[in-house]
Amino acid sequence: MTEQNPIRIAIADDHTLFRTGLAELIHLFGPFKVTVLEKNGLALLDTLAKSASLPEICILDINMPQMNGYDTVLRLKELYPDMKVLAVSMHETEFSILKMIRNGADGYLMKDAEPEELERALISLHEKGVYHSEFLSGRIISQIQNHSTDILSLINISETELRYLQLLCSDLSIKE
């Protein structure tokens, strides 16, 4: 990790001001260079497919049009398993955090984090392959201790579909 051989970073976030501001901030950290800036996961994947040199770390927002962070991280890990992914979001629910981690994110950072924490996250991802903030560790421990995530909240089905499944599992016939 030197100035001559910087760590390449991609950023995908639908908010232009945040995306470009984050890139400028990362350039101040020294050994990092933002090589890809995109507004959503689909555009990111398209750019990466055409890229001669892939980024080592990808910073992803969760809520983006066309392809959200959940789907993007799945595809990134399928296509580029060695690429490290840092989710950066305002979502602090256990559902959002755990879904991104389950889908392959190597770290999770809140958008209101201090710049020093972002720098620590990028260094940790580069050196160790993972980043676990105190916030993330606390939420995961709380989740484990409280078992608060209802399994149905992890399944993306509508109330009508859920009711249909319940009826299928009952003793009623199809006609009833």
3-state secondary structure of 82: coil
Phi, psi of 174 (to 5 degrees): -60, -40
Distance (Å, whole) CA 47 – CA 53 = 11
Per CATH, the homologous superfamily of domain 7-149 is Response regulator (3.40.50.2300)
- In this prediction, residue 165 carries a pLDDT of 64
Per-residue pLDDT for 17 more than 80? Answer: yes
> Model confidence over 22-47: pLDDT tens digits?
999 999 998 999 999 999 999 999 99
- In this prediction, residue 97 carries a pLDDT of 84
Nearest to 108 by CA among 128, 81, 90, 126: 90
Percentage above 70 pLDDT, the chain: 74
Per-residue pLDDT for 166 more than 90? Answer: no
3-state secondary structure of 148: coil
Which of 7-16, 156-165, 166-175 has maximum average pLDDT?
7-16
> Model confidence over 97-137: pLDDT tens digits?
888 888 999 999 999 999 999 999 999 999 999 998 766 66
3-state secondary structure of 32: strand
Comparing 134 with 76, the larger pLDDT belongs to 76
What residue segments make up the domains of the chain, in order of their start? 7-149
Nearest to 60 by CA among 80, 79, 40: 40
Per-residue CA distances from 112 to 22, 87, 118, 144, 166 (Å): 12, 13, 10, 25, 41
DSSP element (H, E) containing 100: helix 94-103
- In this prediction, residue 26 carries a pLDDT of 96
Q: Are 42 and 67 in contact (CB under 8 A)?
A: yes
> Is the full-model pTM beyond 0.85?
no
Looking at every residue in the chain, the average pLDDT score rounds to 84
pLDDT band at 77 (very low <50, low <70, confident <90, very high): very high
